[in-house]
Amino acid sequence: MSTQDGDREALLQGTLDLLILRTLARGPAHGHDIALAIQRDSGDALLVDHGSLYPALQRLEKRRWLSAEWGVSPNNRRARYYALTAAGRKQLRIEVDRWQRLVLAVGRVLGPDLATP
């Protein structure tokens, strides 16, 4: 995953998993649609390359947070569709809580003095 500004920045470990789980909370999707949804929802700030996405999907499926089945995409191609499982929904709540705690902690470290130039 990278940011749009040209710098290839690695996001925090686990961030892609959180974004995938959140995206699939809306309903099943195939890999390419998941990547496009993350890009769109981030205002084109986050780009998910397929070299990162598919191993993450396999990892989440192995953890039983996702289920997958073969189907046909809108352009008539065979595609693997992923869906959030009950365990995945529970993990999503855990990951969102963890992320929110991290954001608060980083905000405390940065402090309000960085808000003004």
CATH of the domain at 64: 1.10.10.10
Q: Residue 113 — pLDDT band, cuts 50, 70, 90?
A: confident
Residue 30 lies in a domain: yes
102 assigned to some structural domain: yes
The answer to whether residue 117 sits within a structural domain is: no
Q: What is the mean pLDDT of residues 24-50?
A: 94
Residue with tokens 């191609």: 77
- 111 falls in which pLDDT band (50, 70, 90)? confident
Show the domain range for 52.
2-110
User: Is the residue at 43 inside a domain?
Assistant: yes
| 27 lies in some domain | yes
Q: For residue 70, is it within any domain?
A: yes
Which range among 8-17, 47-56, 84-93 shows the weakest confidence by mean pLDDT?
8-17
pTM of the entire predicted model: 0.84
- Separation CA 23–CA 84 (nearest Å): 9
Q: Per residue in 52-68, pLDDT tens?
A: 999 999 999 999 999 99
Whether 67 is in a domain gets the answer yes
Q: Measure Cα distances from 63 to 17, 32, 60, 67, 115 in Å.
A: 11, 21, 5, 10, 40
Domain count, the chain: 1
pLDDT reported for residue 13: 62
